[in-house]
Protein backbone atom coordinates (compact mmCIF):
# COMPACT_ATOMS: atom_id res chain seq x y z
CA UNK A 1 0.00 0.00 0.00
CA UNK A 2 2.82 2.42 0.87
CA UNK A 3 4.46 1.76 -2.49
CA UNK A 4 1.11 2.35 -4.31
CA UNK A 5 0.55 5.61 -2.44
CA UNK A 6 4.04 6.81 -3.32
CA UNK A 7 3.45 6.00 -7.01
CA UNK A 8 0.11 7.85 -6.97
CA UNK A 9 1.70 10.97 -5.44
CA UNK A 10 4.45 10.84 -8.07
CA UNK A 11 1.89 10.71 -10.90
CA UNK A 12 -0.02 13.65 -9.45
CA UNK A 13 3.17 15.73 -9.26
CA UNK A 14 4.04 14.82 -12.87
CA UNK A 15 0.56 15.84 -14.04
CA UNK A 16 0.90 19.20 -12.33
CA UNK A 17 4.27 19.81 -13.99
CA UNK A 18 2.80 19.01 -17.43
CA UNK A 19 -0.14 21.35 -16.85
CA UNK A 20 2.24 24.16 -15.92
CA UNK A 21 4.25 23.57 -19.09
CA UNK A 22 1.11 23.84 -21.20
CA UNK A 23 -0.17 26.92 -19.42
CA UNK A 24 3.02 28.92 -19.77
CA UNK A 25 6.12 28.15 -21.77
CA UNK A 26 7.48 31.49 -20.58
CA UNK A 27 6.95 33.09 -17.18
CA UNK A 28 6.29 36.83 -17.40
CA UNK A 29 5.12 38.67 -14.28
CA UNK A 30 1.65 37.68 -13.19
CA UNK A 31 -0.81 40.24 -14.57
CA UNK A 32 -2.95 42.19 -12.15
CA UNK A 33 -6.67 41.59 -12.31
CA UNK A 34 -8.25 44.67 -13.90
CA UNK A 35 -10.66 46.73 -11.84
CA UNK A 36 -14.20 46.52 -13.15
CA UNK A 37 -14.98 49.80 -14.88
CA UNK A 38 -18.26 50.88 -16.34
CA UNK A 39 -18.18 51.87 -19.98
CA UNK A 40 -17.88 55.61 -20.39
CA UNK A 41 -17.91 58.05 -23.25
CA UNK A 42 -14.44 59.40 -22.52
CA UNK A 43 -11.78 58.23 -20.05
CA UNK A 44 -11.26 60.33 -16.96
CA UNK A 45 -7.83 61.85 -16.39
CA UNK A 46 -6.94 59.24 -13.76
CA UNK A 47 -8.17 56.37 -15.92
CA UNK A 48 -6.35 57.61 -19.00
CA UNK A 49 -3.08 57.94 -17.08
CA UNK A 50 -3.27 54.29 -16.02
CA UNK A 51 -3.62 53.05 -19.59
CA UNK A 52 -0.43 52.49 -21.65
CA UNK A 53 0.14 55.30 -24.20
CA UNK A 54 -0.22 53.01 -27.21
CA UNK A 55 -3.62 51.96 -25.87
CA UNK A 56 -5.04 55.30 -24.72
CA UNK A 57 -4.04 57.72 -27.46
CA UNK A 58 -5.73 59.32 -29.21
CA UNK A 59 -9.30 57.92 -29.35
CA UNK A 60 -11.74 56.65 -26.70
CA UNK A 61 -10.91 53.69 -24.49
CA UNK A 62 -14.07 52.15 -23.03
CA UNK A 63 -14.51 49.29 -20.59
CA UNK A 64 -17.43 46.95 -20.02
CA UNK A 65 -18.39 43.39 -19.17
CA UNK A 66 -20.69 40.55 -20.17
CA UNK A 67 -22.07 37.82 -17.90
CA UNK A 68 -21.23 34.28 -18.97
CA UNK A 69 -23.46 31.23 -18.47
CA UNK A 70 -22.18 30.85 -14.90
CA UNK A 71 -23.03 34.45 -14.04
CA UNK A 72 -19.38 35.56 -14.02
CA UNK A 73 -18.27 38.86 -15.53
CA UNK A 74 -16.07 38.67 -18.61
CA UNK A 75 -14.42 42.06 -18.99
CA UNK A 76 -13.69 43.72 -22.31
CA UNK A 77 -12.13 46.92 -23.59
CA UNK A 78 -13.13 48.81 -26.71
CA UNK A 79 -11.07 51.32 -28.68
CA UNK A 80 -13.03 53.86 -30.73
CA UNK A 81 -10.94 55.98 -33.13
CA UNK A 82 -11.28 59.73 -33.49
CA UNK A 83 -10.58 59.28 -37.20
CA UNK A 84 -13.82 57.82 -38.55
CA UNK A 85 -14.18 57.42 -42.28
CA UNK A 86 -17.72 57.27 -43.66
CA UNK A 87 -20.69 55.52 -42.11
CA UNK A 88 -19.92 52.53 -39.95
CA UNK A 89 -16.52 51.62 -38.52
CA UNK A 90 -14.84 48.29 -39.28
CA UNK A 91 -14.33 46.25 -36.10
CA UNK A 92 -11.37 44.03 -35.21
CA UNK A 93 -11.83 41.62 -32.30
CA UNK A 94 -8.46 40.87 -30.67
CA UNK A 95 -7.92 37.85 -28.41
CA UNK A 96 -4.85 37.78 -26.16
CA UNK A 97 -2.67 34.77 -25.43
CA UNK A 98 -1.92 32.97 -22.16
CA UNK A 99 -0.44 35.12 -19.39
CA UNK A 100 -1.57 38.32 -21.11
CA UNK A 101 -4.28 40.80 -20.25
CA UNK A 102 -6.38 42.61 -22.81
CA UNK A 103 -4.57 45.91 -22.21
CA UNK A 104 -1.15 44.26 -22.46
CA UNK A 105 -2.19 42.74 -25.76
CA UNK A 106 -3.40 46.10 -27.01
CA UNK A 107 -0.13 47.77 -26.06
CA UNK A 108 2.06 44.96 -27.34
CA UNK A 109 0.47 44.77 -30.79
CA UNK A 110 0.15 48.57 -31.13
CA UNK A 111 -3.11 47.78 -32.90
CA UNK A 112 -4.93 50.88 -31.62
CA UNK A 113 -2.45 53.30 -33.15
CA UNK A 114 -2.83 51.66 -36.56
CA UNK A 115 -6.59 51.40 -36.14
CA UNK A 116 -6.75 55.14 -35.44
CA UNK A 117 -5.11 55.92 -38.78
CA UNK A 118 -7.55 53.69 -40.69
CA UNK A 119 -10.70 54.40 -38.69
CA UNK A 120 -11.10 50.92 -37.16
CA UNK A 121 -12.70 50.10 -33.82
CA UNK A 122 -10.89 47.39 -31.82
CA UNK A 123 -12.46 45.10 -29.23
CA UNK A 124 -10.44 43.20 -26.59
CA UNK A 125 -12.31 40.54 -24.57
CA UNK A 126 -10.37 39.19 -21.58
CA UNK A 127 -10.42 35.64 -20.26
CA UNK A 128 -11.32 35.24 -16.58
CA UNK A 129 -8.71 34.06 -14.09
CA UNK A 130 -11.48 31.96 -12.56
CA UNK A 131 -11.80 30.13 -15.89
CA UNK A 132 -8.05 29.59 -16.30
CA UNK A 133 -5.34 30.79 -13.87
CA UNK A 134 -3.15 32.01 -16.76
CA UNK A 135 -6.03 33.52 -18.76
CA UNK A 136 -5.73 30.88 -21.49
CA UNK A 137 -8.68 30.52 -23.83
CA UNK A 138 -9.68 26.85 -23.85
CA UNK A 139 -9.35 26.28 -27.59
CA UNK A 140 -8.52 22.62 -27.02
CA UNK A 141 -11.86 21.64 -25.47
CA UNK A 142 -14.17 19.78 -27.82
CA UNK A 143 -17.21 21.69 -26.53
CA UNK A 144 -15.48 25.00 -27.27
CA UNK A 145 -14.44 23.84 -30.75
CA UNK A 146 -18.11 23.02 -31.41
CA UNK A 147 -19.18 26.54 -30.42
CA UNK A 148 -19.69 26.20 -26.66
CA UNK A 149 -17.51 27.18 -23.71
CA UNK A 150 -16.52 30.85 -23.88
CA UNK A 151 -17.70 31.24 -27.48
CA UNK A 152 -21.28 32.42 -26.70
CA UNK A 153 -19.99 34.99 -24.21
CA UNK A 154 -17.53 36.51 -26.67
CA UNK A 155 -20.17 36.51 -29.40
CA UNK A 156 -22.50 38.22 -26.93
CA UNK A 157 -19.89 40.92 -26.31
CA UNK A 158 -19.51 41.49 -30.05
CA UNK A 159 -23.26 41.82 -30.53
CA UNK A 160 -23.45 44.23 -27.60
CA UNK A 161 -20.77 46.42 -29.18
CA UNK A 162 -22.22 46.41 -32.69
CA UNK A 163 -25.67 47.21 -31.24
CA UNK A 164 -24.46 50.26 -29.30
CA UNK A 165 -21.75 51.54 -31.64
CA UNK A 166 -21.70 52.61 -35.28
CA UNK A 167 -20.12 49.42 -36.65
CA UNK A 168 -20.18 48.26 -40.27
CA UNK A 169 -21.49 44.71 -39.87
CA UNK A 170 -20.01 43.63 -43.18
CA UNK A 171 -16.49 44.42 -41.89
CA UNK A 172 -16.02 42.51 -38.63
CA UNK A 173 -12.73 40.64 -38.23
CA UNK A 174 -11.14 38.53 -35.50
CA UNK A 175 -7.46 37.97 -34.68
CA UNK A 176 -5.35 36.55 -31.88
CA UNK A 177 -2.06 35.07 -30.79
CA UNK A 178 -1.39 31.55 -29.50
CA UNK A 179 -4.42 30.44 -27.43
CA UNK A 180 -6.13 33.63 -28.60
CA UNK A 181 -5.52 32.61 -32.21
CA UNK A 182 -7.03 29.21 -31.48
CA UNK A 183 -10.12 30.87 -30.03
CA UNK A 184 -10.32 33.43 -32.86
CA UNK A 185 -10.37 30.59 -35.37
CA UNK A 186 -13.11 28.79 -33.44
CA UNK A 187 -15.25 31.94 -33.28
CA UNK A 188 -14.98 32.48 -37.03
CA UNK A 189 -15.55 28.87 -38.04
CA UNK A 190 -18.64 28.58 -35.85
CA UNK A 191 -20.02 31.99 -36.85
CA UNK A 192 -18.84 32.52 -40.45
CA UNK A 193 -21.77 34.83 -41.18
CA UNK A 194 -20.42 37.33 -38.64
CA UNK A 195 -16.75 37.57 -39.59
CA UNK A 196 -15.31 38.67 -42.92
CA UNK A 197 -11.73 37.40 -42.29
CA UNK A 198 -9.38 36.13 -39.59
CA UNK A 199 -5.78 36.77 -38.52
CA UNK A 200 -4.01 33.98 -36.65
CA UNK A 201 -0.56 34.54 -35.12
CA UNK A 202 1.33 31.53 -33.72
CA UNK A 203 -1.92 29.61 -33.39
CA UNK A 204 -2.71 25.91 -32.90
CA UNK A 205 -4.40 23.84 -35.58
CA UNK A 206 -8.20 23.63 -35.34
CA UNK A 207 -10.08 20.59 -34.09
CA UNK A 208 -7.40 18.76 -32.10
CA UNK A 209 -6.38 18.37 -28.46
CA UNK A 210 -9.65 17.90 -26.52
CA UNK A 211 -7.97 18.23 -23.09
CA UNK A 212 -5.01 20.01 -21.48
CA UNK A 213 -2.52 17.20 -22.12
CA UNK A 214 -3.73 16.82 -25.69
CA UNK A 215 -3.32 20.58 -26.21
CA UNK A 216 0.32 20.38 -25.15
CA UNK A 217 0.86 17.67 -27.77
CA UNK A 218 -0.86 19.77 -30.46
CA UNK A 219 1.36 22.76 -29.69
CA UNK A 220 4.45 20.62 -30.21
CA UNK A 221 3.34 18.16 -32.89
CA UNK A 222 0.16 19.51 -34.50
CA UNK A 223 -2.79 17.19 -35.14
CA UNK A 224 -1.89 13.55 -35.48
CA UNK A 225 -2.08 11.83 -38.85
CA UNK A 226 -4.79 13.29 -41.06
CA UNK A 227 -6.58 14.80 -38.06
CA UNK A 228 -6.36 18.36 -39.41
CA UNK A 229 -8.06 17.39 -42.70
CA UNK A 230 -10.71 15.38 -40.87
CA UNK A 231 -11.55 18.35 -38.63
CA UNK A 232 -12.02 20.61 -41.68
CA UNK A 233 -14.19 18.03 -43.47
CA UNK A 234 -16.29 17.53 -40.33
CA UNK A 235 -16.89 21.28 -40.15
CA UNK A 236 -18.03 21.35 -43.78
CA UNK A 237 -20.39 18.45 -43.10
CA UNK A 238 -21.95 20.37 -40.20
CA UNK A 239 -22.12 23.54 -42.30
CA UNK A 240 -22.64 22.49 -45.94
CA UNK A 241 -23.15 26.14 -46.92
CA UNK A 242 -19.97 27.32 -45.22
CA UNK A 243 -19.09 30.55 -47.09
CA UNK A 244 -15.32 30.29 -46.73
CA UNK A 245 -13.12 32.26 -44.36
CA UNK A 246 -10.27 34.45 -45.70
CA UNK A 247 -7.24 34.11 -43.44
CA UNK A 248 -3.81 35.56 -42.81
CA UNK A 249 -1.52 33.21 -40.86
CA UNK A 250 1.66 34.36 -39.09
CA UNK A 251 4.25 31.97 -37.68
CA UNK A 252 7.77 32.30 -36.33
CA UNK A 253 10.08 29.62 -37.66
CA UNK A 254 11.94 29.56 -34.32
CA UNK A 255 8.77 29.21 -32.24
CA UNK A 256 9.28 26.38 -29.75
CA UNK A 257 5.96 26.91 -27.95
CA UNK A 258 3.51 26.49 -30.84
CA UNK A 259 5.63 24.90 -33.53
CA UNK A 260 5.34 25.63 -37.24
CA UNK A 261 3.69 22.29 -38.01
CA UNK A 262 0.55 24.03 -36.76
CA UNK A 263 0.79 26.71 -39.45
CA UNK A 264 1.31 24.03 -42.09
CA UNK A 265 -1.85 22.26 -40.95
CA UNK A 266 -3.82 25.52 -40.59
CA UNK A 267 -2.84 26.32 -44.17
CA UNK A 268 -4.15 22.94 -45.31
CA UNK A 269 -7.41 23.50 -43.42
CA UNK A 270 -7.82 26.98 -44.90
CA UNK A 271 -7.29 25.65 -48.43
CA UNK A 272 -10.07 23.12 -47.84
CA UNK A 273 -12.47 25.57 -46.18
CA UNK A 274 -11.94 28.19 -48.89
CA UNK A 275 -12.07 25.56 -51.65
CA UNK A 276 -8.70 26.60 -53.04
CA UNK A 277 -6.68 24.32 -55.28
CA UNK A 278 -4.15 26.47 -57.11
CA UNK A 279 -0.46 26.80 -56.16
CA UNK A 280 0.83 29.57 -53.92
CA UNK A 281 2.45 32.73 -55.25
CA UNK A 282 5.67 32.97 -53.23
CA UNK A 283 7.30 36.28 -52.34
CA UNK A 284 10.68 36.16 -50.57
CA UNK A 285 11.47 39.15 -48.37
CA UNK A 286 14.63 39.83 -46.38
CA UNK A 287 13.48 38.18 -43.13
CA UNK A 288 10.29 36.39 -44.14
CA UNK A 289 8.37 34.86 -47.01
CA UNK A 290 4.76 35.14 -48.10
CA UNK A 291 2.68 32.38 -49.66
CA UNK A 292 -0.43 33.83 -51.28
CA UNK A 293 -3.39 31.78 -52.50
CA UNK A 294 -5.94 33.37 -54.83
CA UNK A 295 -9.39 32.61 -56.15
CA UNK A 296 -9.09 34.38 -59.46
CA UNK A 297 -7.81 37.81 -58.49
CA UNK A 298 -9.08 37.65 -54.91
CA UNK A 299 -6.50 36.92 -52.22
CA UNK A 300 -8.13 34.48 -49.79
CA UNK A 301 -5.16 33.09 -47.87
CA UNK A 302 -1.84 34.70 -46.96
CA UNK A 303 0.77 32.69 -45.08
CA UNK A 304 3.66 34.61 -43.49
CA UNK A 305 6.68 32.57 -42.38
CA UNK A 306 9.02 34.73 -40.30
CA UNK A 307 12.68 33.71 -39.92
CA UNK A 308 14.16 33.64 -36.40
CA UNK A 309 10.89 34.77 -34.78
CA UNK A 310 10.08 32.94 -31.55
CA UNK A 311 6.70 32.84 -29.76
CA UNK A 312 5.97 36.55 -30.07
CA UNK A 313 3.90 39.08 -32.02
CA UNK A 314 5.92 40.16 -35.06
CA UNK A 315 6.65 43.90 -35.02
CA UNK A 316 5.27 44.33 -31.50
CA UNK A 317 6.33 46.38 -28.47
CA UNK A 318 9.32 44.51 -26.96
CA UNK A 319 8.80 46.11 -23.54
CA UNK A 320 6.10 43.48 -23.02
CA UNK A 321 6.43 39.68 -23.11
CA UNK A 322 5.41 37.85 -26.28
CA UNK A 323 6.32 40.74 -28.59
CA UNK A 324 9.27 41.11 -30.97
CA UNK A 325 10.41 44.43 -32.38
CA UNK A 326 11.67 42.93 -35.63
CA UNK A 327 9.29 42.90 -38.57
CA UNK A 328 7.25 42.30 -40.49
CA UNK A 329 4.57 44.31 -38.71
CA UNK A 330 1.84 41.73 -38.13
CA UNK A 331 -0.75 44.31 -37.03
CA UNK A 332 -0.25 46.43 -40.14
CA UNK A 333 -0.34 43.42 -42.46
CA UNK A 334 -3.48 42.03 -40.83
CA UNK A 335 -5.36 45.30 -41.23
CA UNK A 336 -4.25 45.52 -44.87
CA UNK A 337 -5.50 41.97 -45.47
CA UNK A 338 -8.80 42.64 -43.67
CA UNK A 339 -9.41 45.72 -45.82
CA UNK A 340 -9.69 43.40 -48.86
CA UNK A 341 -12.70 41.54 -47.43
CA UNK A 342 -16.34 42.13 -46.54
CA UNK A 343 -19.04 39.71 -45.52
CA UNK A 344 -22.05 39.95 -47.81
Q: Does residue 238 have a pLDDT over 80?
A: yes
Q: How far apart are CA 129 and CA 100, in angstroms?
A: 11
1 has pLDDT over 70: no
Q: Round the average pLDDT of the chain to a whole number and report it.
A: 87
Kindly calculate the radius of gyration of the chain based on its CA atoms and give it in whole angstroms: 20
Contact predicate 262/205, CB 8 Å? yes
Say which residues have a Cβ less than 8 Å from residue 3's Cβ, sequence separation at least 6: none
pLDDT at residue 24 is higher than 80: no
Q: What Cα–Cα distance (Å) separates residue 167 from each residue in 111, 121, 223? A: 17, 8, 37
Q: How many CB atoms lie within 10 A of CB 342?
A: 14
Q: Which residues pair with 146 in a beta bridge?
A: none
298-336 pLDDT, tens digit each: 999 999 999 999 999 999 999 999 999 998 999 999 999
pTM assigned to the model: 0.85
- DSSP E strand stretches across the chain: 60-67, 73-80, 89-95, 121-125, 167-177, 197-201, 247-252, 281-284, 288-295, 298-306, 313-314, 323-324
User: Taking residues 143-154, what's their average pLDDT?
Assistant: 97
**pLDDT for the residue 107:** 95
Mean of pLDDT values over 265-281: 97
Paired with 223 in beta bridges are: none
CB contact at 8 A, 63 and 75: yes
Among the ranges given (48-52, 112-116, 247-251, 262-266), the one the predictor scored with the smallest mean pLDDT: 48-52
Residue 174: pLDDT band by 50, 70, 90 thresholds? very high
Question: Is the CB of residue 229 less than 8 Å from the CB of residue 269?
Answer: yes
- Residue 197 to residue 247: CA distance in whole angstroms: 6
Residue 114: exposure state from Cβ atoms within 10 A (0-12, 13-18, ≥19): buried
Q: Is the pLDDT of residue 21 over 60?
A: no
pLDDT in tens, 182-236: 999 999 999 999 999 999 999 999 999 999 999 999 999 999 999 999 999 999 9
Q: What is the pLDDT of residue 56?
A: 54
Residues 259, 202: Cα–Cα separation, whole Å: 8
**What is the predicted pLDDT for the residue at 256?**
97
List, in order of start, the domains of the chain with CATH numbers: 60-339 (3.40.50.1820)
Amino acid sequence: MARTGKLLRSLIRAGKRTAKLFAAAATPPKPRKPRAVRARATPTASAASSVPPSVAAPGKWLAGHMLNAAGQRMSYWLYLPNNRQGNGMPLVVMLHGCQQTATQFAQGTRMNLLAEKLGYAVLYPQQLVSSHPHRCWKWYERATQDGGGDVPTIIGIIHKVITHQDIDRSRIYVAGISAGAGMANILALNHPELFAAIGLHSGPVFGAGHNALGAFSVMKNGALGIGADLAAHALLQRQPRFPGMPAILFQGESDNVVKSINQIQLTRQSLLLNRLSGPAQVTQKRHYRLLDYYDGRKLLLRVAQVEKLEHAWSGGDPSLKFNDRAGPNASKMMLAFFARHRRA
